[in-house]
Amino acid sequence: MLVRKVHYHQQAKTLDVYFDNDAMVSFSAEFLRVLSPSADVKGHSPATATLVANKKQVAISKINPVGHYALRLVFDDGHNSGLYSWQYFEHLANNQEALWQDYLKKLSSSNATRESLINIKTL
């Protein structure tokens, strides 16, 4: 499937992805950040993957198209190295609940948390 349009909701910190089959899937910025397709998150094998924690409040600060096949998402924590291809968005859409539950289990087994390390309040 091809991605036809995306819409980022700054306050909700969600990205709506519209596919060419008229399906729309909404992803939280946190979900996209912790499941980034970048090498520093994915590793070179499942054994070397990095568990990304403390990203509950992360936001997307910039969305850059990469050709006609992907987006580069820039997060407000500085992460910007993952290319989200249309195929990767489709994979995330088809497996969103299972991927999220697996992530939560990994956090729990590592005694990690989704919460920020420092409580920051913006007005």
Residue 43: predicted pLDDT: 74
User: Tokens for 107?
Assistant: 């956090």
Question: Per-residue pLDDT for 121 more than 90?
Answer: no
Residue 63: predicted pLDDT: 98
CATH 3.20.20.70 matches 3-109: no
> Model pTM?
0.91
Residue 95: predicted pLDDT: 98
The lowest-confidence range among 20-29, 48-57, 82-91 is 48-57
Average pLDDT over residues 14-40: 96
Count other C-beta atoms under 10 Å from residue 57's C-beta.
16
